[in-house]
């Protein structure tokens, strides 16, 4: 097996696509494509690029790959036959545009059920609507349509939440809003309390205090992906100030003026 086939086998064994594997080892997806698929030549032949030392070293160190496997002297893929690529690492699939730049995939309310089964399927991810936003470039992002009113007063049903991928449980901050993808609960948008180190769980709570939305927890081993809510677009326009609120404001100002007048009058009488 030639080295480009061995690299392709590593990508398959890690259950990644070329773009997510490229991000993991710190190169462009075009670089990995040229190694595994080859560059199209004028005669129609695809010439495969030979990987350099730095790229191979990154594969070995970041994916726990046995160096002897890469160079064909062993069939043991991972060091100690065990991969360290587990837990929160990278999205299984990252889609890119024709320039090799990452897309933002849109997961609408109707697509959320399918996302739980398709998050690691390149064909599923690539058929999702995708776009780019100039202000969301530093990281991997996905856009989720909010479903339900459990986060009302902050985020409403139908709002669009832009999540930045979190690749380490330690980066999850208490009290912030995240999109959590888990085996048993699917796609949920909640405010999170991180108790991974203490008890191996994330505690999730809702902002809506009017409905029946109790706190609950998810075990770390059940969590598939975590996306930090870094921006959102809302269909809810703020209501104009209510006439009764305006009356309350005027009454308060009148009270303060009357109080000031009485104090001033009392001071004058003492003169």
Q: What is the pLDDT at residue 255? A: 83
Q: Give the DSSP letter of residue 83.
A: -
Residue 67 falls inside a structural domain: yes
Residues 216 and 264 in one domain: no
Residue written as token pair 């462009």: 28
The count of domains in the chain is: 3
* Band (202; pLDDT cuts 50, 70, 90): very high
Per-residue pLDDT tens over the stretch 114-170: 888 888 787 888 889 999 888 888 888 999 999 999 998 899 999 999 999 998 898
Is residue 45 in some structural domain? yes
Mean pLDDT for the stretch of residues 225-247: 80
Q: Which two three-digit tokens encode residue 195?
A: 């108790």
**What pLDDT is attached to residue 18?**
87
pLDDT exceeds cutoff 70 at 22: yes
The reply to whether 131 falls in a domain is yes
Among 29, 48, 81, give the residue marking a domain's end. Answer: 81
Residues 16 and 59 in one domain: yes
- Residue 222 DSSP SS3: helix
For residues 158 and 249, state if they share a domain: no
> Token match 């496997």: residue?
69
Give me the CATH number covering residue 38. 1.10.260.40
The pLDDT, as a whole number, for residue 62 is 83
Q: What is the extent of the structural domain holding 176?
A: 104-233
In this structure, the answer to whether residues 227 and 120 fall within a common structural domain is yes
Q: From start to end of the chain, where are the E strands?
A: 39-40, 46-47, 104-107, 130-131, 141-145, 160-165, 176-182, 186-195, 201-205, 216-219, 223-233
The answer to which of 7-16, 136-145, 232-241 has the lowest mean pLDDT is 232-241
Asked whether the predicted pLDDT for residue 102 surpasses 50, the reply is yes
Asked if residue 89 is part of any domain, the answer here is no
Higher-confidence residue of 44 and 148: namely 148
**Residue corresponding to tokens 């190694």:** 35
| Cα–Cα distances in angstroms (integers) from residue 227 to residues 140, 176, 191, in the given order | 9, 11, 12
Please check whether residues 225 and 260 belong to one and the same domain.
no
Tell me, yes or no, whether 90 lies in a domain.
Answer: no
The answer to whether position 267 is within a domain reads: yes
- Evaluate whether residue 86 is within a structural domain: no
Read off the pLDDT of residues 49-94 as tens digits, 9 standing for 90 and up. 999 889 999 999 888 888 888 888 888 888 764 444 445 666 778 8
Are 221 and 148 contained in the same domain?
yes
**Contact residues for 163 (Cβ-Cβ < 8 A; gap 6+):** 141, 142, 143, 144, 178, 179, 227, 228, 229, 230
Measured distance CA(140)–CA(155) in Å, rounded: 22
pLDDT at 17 over 60: yes
pLDDT at 84: 40
Q: Nearest CA to 94 among 17, 182, 15, 8? A: 17
pLDDT band at 249 (very low <50, low <70, confident <90, very high): confident
CATH code of residue 129? 2.10.109.10
Higher pLDDT, 246 or 53: 53
């Amino acid at each position: 097996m030639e080295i480009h086939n061995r690299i392709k086998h590593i990508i398959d064994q890690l259950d990644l696509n070329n773009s997510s594997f490229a991000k993991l080892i710190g190169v462009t997806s075009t670089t990995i494509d040229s190694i595994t698929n080859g560059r199209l030549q004028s005669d129609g032949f695809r010439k495969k690029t030979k990987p350099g030392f730095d790229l191979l070293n990154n594969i070995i160190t970041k994916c726990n790959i046995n160096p002897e496997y890469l160079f064909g002297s062993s069939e043991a893929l991972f060091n100690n036959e065990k991969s360290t690529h587990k837990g929160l690492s990278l999205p299984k699939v990252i889609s890119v545009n024709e320039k090799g730049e990452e897309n933002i995939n849109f997961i609408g309310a109707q697509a959320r059920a399918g996302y739980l089964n398709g998050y690691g399927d390149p064909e599923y991810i690539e058929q999702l609507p995708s776009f780019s936003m100039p202000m969301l470039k530093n990281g991997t992002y996905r856009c989720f349509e909010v479903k339900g009113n459990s986060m009302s007063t902050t985020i409403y049903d139908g709002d669009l939440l832009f999540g930045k991928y979190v690749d380490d449980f330690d980066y999850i901050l208490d009290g912030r809003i995240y999109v959590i993808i888990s085996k048993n609960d699917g796609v949920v948008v909640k405010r999170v309390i991180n108790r991974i180190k203490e008890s191996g769980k994330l505690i999730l709570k809702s902002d809506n205090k009017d409905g029946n939305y109790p706190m609950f927890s998810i075990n770390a081993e059940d969590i598939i992906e975590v996306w930090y809510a870094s921006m959102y677009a809302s269909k809810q326009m703020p209501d104009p100030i209510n006439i009764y609120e305006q009356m309350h404001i005027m009454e308060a100002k009148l009270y303060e003026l009357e109080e000031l007048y009485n104090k001033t009058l009392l001071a004058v009488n003492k003169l």
